[in-house]
């Protein structure tokens, strides 16, 4: 213990500063290390593993067996469980004239996938009940989402994490498009309908007379 005495105006105050030195100068990182001869034994150390006598399958073999078990489990379900679903079958009821919206979603059978939240809405423009002026404005606003060959309007969304949210968003978006098409303040009559996005390239067929003749296979005895 070392003493520090202050002089001058502070001579009345005497302070003692204690300096404690460490008993060991080893680094902190080496505290948990042990000497080579004092290593603790662990049952799963490599040195304690028995010699492989080729009396068991390799890792690849066990993975192959796991795949076989998985396939067999699905085969058993297809044979014994799927026929039981016929008890819950319901007759098909076609959609009515008022049910004009068609939604398409994707499901990967319990496997998480980023495309599961995507929803696609498809509707026939003729079923919306619009006149020529409203129809033209709706198609101009829709842009490439309208297919003039099929007469359908397709909207898709995956901006929300759940498919129900995207479905509701598309339904509201279609309502806004129809409401905007019925607004007569600006009819877009001076804007022509652009259908260049559906113009497919001309496919040329290979002439049959240009084909090489087939070689005749003759067997020699």
Evaluate whether 170 touches 119 at the Cβ level (below 8 Å): yes
pLDDT above 90 for 221: no
Sorted by where each starts, the structural domains of the chain and their CATH numbers stand as: 102-186 (3.30.160.20)
Kindly report the pTM of this predicted structure.
Answer: 0.56
pLDDT of 10: 46
Q: Bridge partners of 104?
A: 120
pLDDT above 70 for 208: yes
- The string of pLDDT tens digits covering residues 118-177 is 999 999 999 999 999 999 999 999 999 999 999 999 999 999 999 999 999 999 999 999
Nearest to 197 by CA among 146, 121, 139: 146
- The string of pLDDT tens digits covering residues 15-56 is 444 444 555 555 555 555 555 555 567 777 878 878 878 888
Evaluate whether 90 touches 100 at the Cβ level (below 8 Å): no
pLDDT of 17: 46
pLDDT above 90 for 64: yes
Helix (H) or strand (E) holding 132: helix 132-142
DSSP 114: G
Which residue has 């559906």 as its token pair? Answer: 198
């Amino acid at each position: 213990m070392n003493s520090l005495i202050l002089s001058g105006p502070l001579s009345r105050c005497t302070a003692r500063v204690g300096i404690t030195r460490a008993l060991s100068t080893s680094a902190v990182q080496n505290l948990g290390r042990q000497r080579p001869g004092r290593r603790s034994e662990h049952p799963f150390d490599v040195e304690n593993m028995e010699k492989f006598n080729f009396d068991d399958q390799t890792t690849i073999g066990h993975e192959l067996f796991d795949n076989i078990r998985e396939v067999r489990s699905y085969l058993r379900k297809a044979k014994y469980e799927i026929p039981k679903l016929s008890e819950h079958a319901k007759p098909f009821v076609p959609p009515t004239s008022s049910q004009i919206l068609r939604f398409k979603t994707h499901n990967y059978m319990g496997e998480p996938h980023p495309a599961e939240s995507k929803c696609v809405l498809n509707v026939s423009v003729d079923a919306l009940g619009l006149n020529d002026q409203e129809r033209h404005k709706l198609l101009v606003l829709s842009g490439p989402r309208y297919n003039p060959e099929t007469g359908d309007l397709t909207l898709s969304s995956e901006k929300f994490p759940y498919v129900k949210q995207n479905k509701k968003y598309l339904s509201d978006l279609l309502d806004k498009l129809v409401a905007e098409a019925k607004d007569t303040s600006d009819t877009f009559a001076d804007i022509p309908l652009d259908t260049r996005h559906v113009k497919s390239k001309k496919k040329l067929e290979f002439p049959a007379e240009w084909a090489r003749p087939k070689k005749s296979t003759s067997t020699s005895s």
